[in-house]
A and B are shown apart, each in its own frame.
Chain A
Amino acid sequence: MNDEFDLSPIQLDALREIGNVGAGNSATALSQIINKRIDMNVPKVDLVPIEAVPDLVGGADTIVVGVFLRVYGRAPGNILFLLPQKSAFYLVDTLMGREHGTTKKLDFMDESALMEIGNILSGAYLNAFFNFTHISMLPSIPALAMDMAGAILNIILVQLGQMGDRALVIETEFLAEDDGINGHFFLVPDPGSLGTLIKAVGVE
């Protein structure tokens, strides 16, 4: 199968730790923006069959808002920040200073605000990767879509599907203190990038 994915427990731990710091940075950034405490779980670093990825976010037909960023540099990859529709509306209401429950549909400004959140979270997250690996990873301009989770996840899964049947996903779940927002943050290294990252961390 795919040799690149044959990681030792120590290597997986290293990735988990970097993901942890990255997610911590992102959670802090988000918390400062919306002025609420944000909890996060310890990142899952998992090798999952590609067709099982939509189940991680509640099934292929769950309606979600996805902010997608391409990561450039020596270890390219994709970032996808997924929010269930309800959480996205709640977050937008918070950002825009509106009463919760106001947003029923995303307008241009709302989309722009959510993309900016994706941008900030990605920057904070990738910063942690840089600190550990000294490989700079630059996020592209974000793109946004609101649709079925399966359809949105296609964009990261198709590329992996070309190289194998499994995906390594570094995934963190965010939860706001009042339960109004939960989100999933995926970093999916391109085929080939994983080796580069592991080597840079120095765990054989």
Chain B
Amino acid sequence: MAALIKVGMADYKVGRSPSTLISYGLGSCIGISLYDPQTKIGGLLHIMLPDSTQARASDNPAKFADTGIPLMLNDVLALGASKSRLVAKIAGGAQMFAFANATDIMRVGNRNADAVKQILRRNGIRVIAEDTGGNYGRTVQIDLNTGVYKVKTIDRGEKDI
């Protein structure tokens, strides 16, 4: 039986085929998947904020892109994935409410997406697919058997990226 493993907000999980990792209801948050197609090992991280250095000390590094990505990367490598084969797919980063005078915090989705891509690049990980922005929520799941990253929405259907 292929296990469906739930990843909460500000959390991450790693695993191998035939598991599927899923995270529900991302708004401005971003779901970052890492996948090694040869060993079929991967992970899914659900971050809320771009940068831990602009926040007060937290007990939870998985909340931020800059601390969460290295954490998941280490765990995926420890399971036996190869860094040179790892590819990333990302989804989320929406702005859920339209406000004429949106403050920075309401536009955090964009900043999240930019930070995630930059940090992945800095760690030498290729981003091969992306579905970010917009004003709608997403549920994401990575099938560790195929590497397919499924993005579900409420009234914009679902797609595999």
Contact = CB atoms under 8 A, between A and B. Distances in A.
Contact of B55 (A70, A144, A163): A163
Interface string B107-139: 010000000000000000000000000011111
Contacts of B137: 147-148, 150-152
Contact of A158 (B25, B28, B58, B136): B28
A50 interface: yes
A151 B49 contact: no
A46 interface: no
B136 A147 contact: yes
Interface of B: 8-11, 24-29, 48-49, 54-56, 58-60, 63, 94, 96-99, 105-106, 108, 135-139, 154
Contacts of A61: 24-25, 139
Interface string A1-32: 11000000000000000000000000000000
A54 B58 CA distance: 20
Nearest to B102: A143
Interface of A: 1-2, 50-51, 54, 59-61, 63, 66, 68, 70, 140, 143-155, 157-159, 161-165
A157 B9 contact: yes
B9 A54 contact: yes
A164 B58 contact: yes
A189 to B, nearest CB: 15
Nearest to B99: A143
Nearest to B54: A162
B139 A143 contact: no
Contacts of A54: 9, 24-25
A50 B96 contact: no
